[in-house]
Amino acid sequence: MSTDDDEGRRPASREQGTGRAGLSTLLLALQFTDSSFPSGMYTLSHGLEGLREAGAVGPAGPLSVADAVHGILRHSAGPAEATALALAWAATREHSGPAPASGTPGAPGAPDAPAPPGPGPDPSPLLAALTCIDQRLHATRLTREFRDGATRTGTQVLDLAAELLDDPVVSAWNDHVRARRSPGSQSVVMGVVYARGGLSQREAVAADLTALVISLSGAALRLRLADHRSAQALVRGAAPVIAEVTDAAVGRTLEELGGFAPVLDLASCHHERAEARLFAS
């Protein structure tokens, strides 16, 4: 016998079924953007410590922490890392097809599922396209600590992602990077991971920029440029900038990849040779 409660639950049940794929991609994004994910991002300040030591950021400096974060997004991470991620996402979708449907055999996270279909018998077109993006991004980074930080976190994330997702496309890129055929920048890695995980291009870029802002807020906290409450205000206040930078990144071409942030680069140059420092960048 049907009850009123049963009748009331049926539409919700159908909604839950149709939204399962979207929920799966959301959960994947939440996992990879979590500050506890072992990417090594906690070792990086992304130039914030260098700006603080140079007197550019802080109570006596010309820039607030929010100004610095927004500037990094607009002039450094957006034109460089976010653009590379968008291009890597597009290359992955072009050469390997759409991501496996969530909940079907071969989908990331499907229990006891065989490996999903790969990029085809010859993955070299995809690997070549990703390598081109990766090498260009690597070349645009002017300081060693920025280059090393990006590849160190990238290879760590990629190796773990290959294990977690059990996806042949991610595994092929991992093998390629481990063979030292490409630098393995974190942004390119996330473009591949998010494309195979089912996120849209804009969602992928926004998720990675959010992870960057969360990392910057953590660095600001440890540098005593923010307390716990103001760090969260920093993250929330960056949301409109993340949306703006995301829209710009998905519209750029490979030839347009690269940021221009001379103050940040100079601060990084001095930071590399600092006698004492809390962060690797």
260 pLDDT above the threshold of 50:
yes
Alpha helices in the chain (DSSP H): 4-18, 20-33, 48-53, 65-72, 83-96, 124-140, 144-165, 168-178, 186-197, 201-222, 228-237, 239-249, 262-272
141 pLDDT above the threshold of 50:
yes
Name the amino acid, one letter, at 214: I
Question: Per residue in 45-93, pLDDT tens?
Answer: 988 999 998 889 987 778 899 999 999 999 999 999 999 999 999 999 9
Question: Per residue in 159-179, pLDDT tens?
Answer: 999 999 999 999 999 999 999
Q: What is the CATH number that goes with domain 24-272?
A: 1.10.4190.10
Which candidate, 190, 131, 124, places its Cα nearest to that of 155?
Answer: 190
Name the amino acid, one letter, at 109: G
CB atoms near residue 176 (< 10 Å): 21
Domain boundaries, the chain: 24-272
